[in-house]
Structure 1
Amino acid sequence: MRSLFLFLLSFLSAVCGIQGASDFRICSFNMQHFGDSKSKKSNVMQTLVKIISRCDVCLLQEVRDSKHTALPALMAQLNSYDTNNHYDVVASERLGRSDSYQEQYVFVYRTNTVTVTGQYQYPDDRSGDVDAFAREPFIVRFKAPKTAIKEFVLIPQHTAPANATKELDALYDVLQVMKRKWRTENVMLLGDFNADCSYLAKKNRGKVRLITDQNLYWLISDDIDTTVRSSTSCAYDRIVVHGEKFYQQVVPSSAKPFDFQAAYQLTEEQALEVSDHYPVEVLMKATASRVSFNLLLILLAFIFTCS
C-alpha cells in the first residue's frame, strides 16, 4: 500500500511538472535602432527571431522603421522560424519630440496563447510642463486564458536618459489612469527605464513614486546588469508588477535578463550588432491543469479510504 501511495504521489508530481513547463513568458527588449539597415543583416535577424520566439508577449523598443519594411520582415521570419506557433503584432504610432528621431512601441505576441483585448495611446500634452514623456506609453491589455492571472495590462516605457527621473515618476500617474480606465489592478510596467547608473542618481530615487510605492514590486533588482558591453554594468531595463495578486502569480526568481550572447555563443562584437541591451523577462504561473486536480482528488480519496 505504501508503494502504491508513493507511485501515485510521484505520478502526480510528474504531471504537475509537465504543466509547469508551460509557464507564460513576458519579455521586454530594447532592439537599439531597429530599422531598415538592421533588418538587412541576416545574422542579426536570425538572432532577433530566436530571442523573440522564446516569449509569449515581447515588448520591442527603439523600433525606428520609417520605411515600414523592417517590422514586416521580422514578423515574416519569426513565423517561418517557429512553425508551432503563430505571431502577430500590435504597435503604436511613431513617437518622439523630434521629427528626425522617432520610435514605436511594438508588442509581438503568440496568437495561440494570448489575445489583445484593448489598446490605448497615452495622450501627448505639450502644454506647459505637462509633457512628461519623450515617447508616451502605448498601453495594451491582454487576455491569456492559460495563465493563473488570466488578464493583465502592460504599460511600456523607454525613458529619455536625460529625463529618466521625471519620466519614471510620471509613469506612476499613467498607472493610476489605466487602473481607473480599465478597472483593473493587474498591471505590469516594463521597458528600458534607464533606471540606474548616471541616469537615475540614488539621491533622486526617493522622488520617484514608482519606486517608493510599497504596492509596486521591482522584479529586476538594482544589482542586475542588463547591458551587453562588458565595460558597463547597469540595470537599465526593468519589470515592475502592481499589486500583491499579480506578484503572487509570478514564478519566483524567474525575472532576469536573457544573456543571448552566451546562449547563442556570440562574441561581444556580434552581440552588439543585435543590441547593446539584453532582453529582460519574467514567467507567469500557468493555470493548474484539470488532470492534475483530478489526480489530487483521487490521491486524497485513496489516503482517506486506507486510513
Structure 2
Amino acid sequence: MRTALLLLVVGLCTLNVALSLKICAFNVKSFGEAKANNKKVMGILLKILSRCDLCLIQEVRDSKGGAIQALVKDLNRYDKSNSYSYLESERLGRKTYKEQYVYIYRNNVLQVKEHYQYPKLEGDGTNETDVFSREPFIVRFHSPTTLIKDFVLIGQHTSPKTAMKEMDELYTVFKGIYKKWKTDNVMILGDLNAGCSYVTIKGWRSVRLRSDDKFHWLIGDEQDTTVRQKTHCAYDRIIVHGREIISSIVPDSAQPFNFKENFHLTEEEALEVSDHFPVEMKMLMKKKKKKKKKKKKMKMRMKLRMKMKI
C-alpha cells in the first residue's frame, strides 16, 4: 500500500512539473538569409524553438525581414499543436553593424500587452550616458494559465567590451519599468557576456543587479552556455525580480539546453546553428480546481486496488 501511495505522489509531482510554461533566450549568431536558406540549420532551430512557449532570439541580422518571417512560418508548420507569432525590435547598433531582438511566442498561450524600445541616444557611443550598444527591448506579457498572470521581459545582448557597465545600467532600466507600469515582476534575459574574460571579481561589486539581493540569477556563474568544448563560460543569463514571479518558478528548471548532445551533433554541426546554447526556465501553471466527482472516482479506484492486493 505504501508503495502504491508513493508512486501516486511521484506521479502527481511529475504532472505538476510538466504543466509549466517554458521561457528561453537564444543567441542564434548572425541569423539572416544564409541560415534561413540552410535546411539543416533551420531544422535544428525548429526543434529548439518548438520546446519553448516564449523565446527571445538575439543577433538577428536580417535587414530585409524575410528570414524571421520564414522561420516563424516554418515553426507553425512544424508544431501544428500551437500557433506562433513574433515581435521584433528596431534594428539596433552603432554605426553600420545592426542587430534585432525578436520574441517568438505561442499566441495560443501568451498575449502581448505592451512593449517599448528603450530610448536610443544619438551619437557613436563615446558619450558617457550612451551605455548600451544595443538598447533593451521590453515586453509585457499576459499569461492566463500560469500562477503569475503578468510579467515583463527585458531582452538584452551586451557588447563584450562594456558588458559590466551595460549589466549595471539594466538596474536603471528596471527602475524605469517600475515607474512606467507599476510592476516589479521582471525577467532580464539574453547574452549578457556575463562570464570569463568579460567580467572581473572586483567589477561585479559595482553591478547593481548583483549587489541587490532582490535580483535572483537563475543561471549560475559555474554553468556553461557555450557550444565549443574548449570554452566554459556563463555568458547567457536569466535574472528575475519580484515576489510573484520568483514564487512561480519551477525549482531547478533554469539551465542551458545542450542541443549538441540532445540532438547528437558534432561540434562543427552545432556551431553552424550557433556558438551559444539557449538558456531556459519554467513557470508553474495555476492548479485546476478538482471536481468532487473526480475525487470520489479516485477513492473508489484506490479501494479496488487494495481489495485486489488482499
The TM-score with structure 1 as length reference comes to: 0.90
Worse-matched range after superposition: 39-48 or 288-297: 288-297
**Cα distance in 2 between the residues matched to 1:49 and 1:200:** 33
- Relative to 1, partners in 2 of residues 1:293 and 1:105: Cα closer, same or farther, differing over 3 Å? farther
Candidates 49, 53, 56, aligned match of 2:53: 56
Q: Which residue of 2 aligns with 1:123?
A: 119
Candidates 102, 105, 109, aligned match of 2:98: 102
| Contact 2:20 2:282 (8 Å CA) reproduced | yes
**Cα distance in 2 between the residues matched to 1:46 and 1:39:** 10
2:24 matched to 1:37? no
Q: Which residue of 2 aligns with 1:218?
A: 217
**Cα distance in 1 between the residues matched to 2:199 and 2:293:** 51
Q: Which residue of 1 aligns with 2:18?
A: 21
Task: Please show how residues 81-230 of structure 1 align to structure 2 within 5 Å.
Answer: 81-99=78-96, 101-126=97-122, 128-230=127-229
**Cα distance in 1 between the residues matched to 2:66 and 2:11:** 46
CA apart distance, 1:37: 0.8
- Between the aligned residues of both structures, percent identity stands at 49
Amino acid at match of 1:85: N
**Cα distance in 2 between the residues matched to 1:292 and 1:258:** 37
- Relative to 1, partners in 2 of residues 1:15 and 1:141: Cα closer, same or farther, differing over 3 Å? same
For 1:207, what is the secondary structure of its paired residue? coil
**Cα distance in 1 between the residues matched to 2:275 and 2:245:** 30
- Relative to 1, partners in 2 of residues 1:294 and 1:216: Cα closer, same or farther, differing over 3 Å? farther
| Contact 2:168 2:206 (8 Å CA) reproduced | yes
- Relative to 1, partners in 2 of residues 1:86 and 1:221: Cα closer, same or farther, differing over 3 Å? same
**Cα distance in 2 between the residues matched to 1:6 and 1:50:** 37
For 1:102, what is the secondary structure of its paired residue? coil
**Cα distance in 2 between the residues matched to 1:143 and 1:293:** 30
| Contact 1:9 1:299 (8 Å CA) reproduced | no
**Cα distance in 2 between the residues matched to 1:242 and 1:88:** 26
**Cα distance in 1 between the residues matched to 2:203 and 2:292:** 49
CA apart distance, 1:215: 0.3
- Post-superposition Cα deviations, 1:124-171, rounded to whole Å, max 9, x if no partner, equal 124742111000011001011111111110001100000101100001
- Relative to 1, partners in 2 of residues 1:175 and 1:285: Cα closer, same or farther, differing over 3 Å? same
**Cα distance in 1 between the residues matched to 2:266 and 2:292:** 47
CA apart distance, 1:244: 3.1
CA apart distance, 1:229: 0.2
| Contact 2:154 2:187 (8 Å CA) reproduced | yes
**Cα distance in 1 between the residues matched to 2:292 and 2:282:** 22
| Contact 1:12 1:296 (8 Å CA) reproduced | no
Q: Which residue of 1 aligns with 2:76?
A: 79
Q: Which residue of 1 aligns with 2:267?
A: 268
| Contact 1:16 1:292 (8 Å CA) reproduced | no
Worse-matched range after superposition: 13-22 or 256-265: 13-22
For 2:176, what is the secondary structure of its paired residue? helix
- Post-superposition Cα deviations, 1:173-223, rounded to whole Å, max 9, x if no partner, equal 001100111111110000000001111112200010011111000000000
**Cα distance in 2 between the residues matched to 1:75 and 1:14:** 35
**Cα distance in 1 between the residues matched to 2:258 and 2:184:** 31
2:267 matched to 1:254? no
| Contact 1:19 1:289 (8 Å CA) reproduced | no
- Post-superposition Cα deviations, 1:220-264, rounded to whole Å, max 9, x if no partner, equal 000000000001000000000002332111111000000000111
| Contact 1:225 1:235 (8 Å CA) reproduced | yes
| Contact 1:15 1:292 (8 Å CA) reproduced | no
Q: Which ranges in structure 2 are unaligned for 5 or more consecutive residues?
A: 300-310
The TM-score with structure 2 as length reference comes to: 0.90
For 1:181, what is the secondary structure of its paired residue? helix
- Relative to 1, partners in 2 of residues 1:265 and 1:123: Cα closer, same or farther, differing over 3 Å? same
- Relative to 1, partners in 2 of residues 1:292 and 1:123: Cα closer, same or farther, differing over 3 Å? farther
Q: Which ranges in structure 1 are unaligned for 5 or more consecutive residues?
A: 301-307
**CA RMSD of the aligned region, Å?**
2.3
**Cα distance in 1 between the residues matched to 2:64 and 2:89:** 15
**Cα distance in 2 between the residues matched to 1:83 and 1:103:** 29
**Cα distance in 2 between the residues matched to 1:87 and 1:192:** 23
- Relative to 1, partners in 2 of residues 1:76 and 1:9: Cα closer, same or farther, differing over 3 Å? same
CA apart distance, 1:12: 7.6
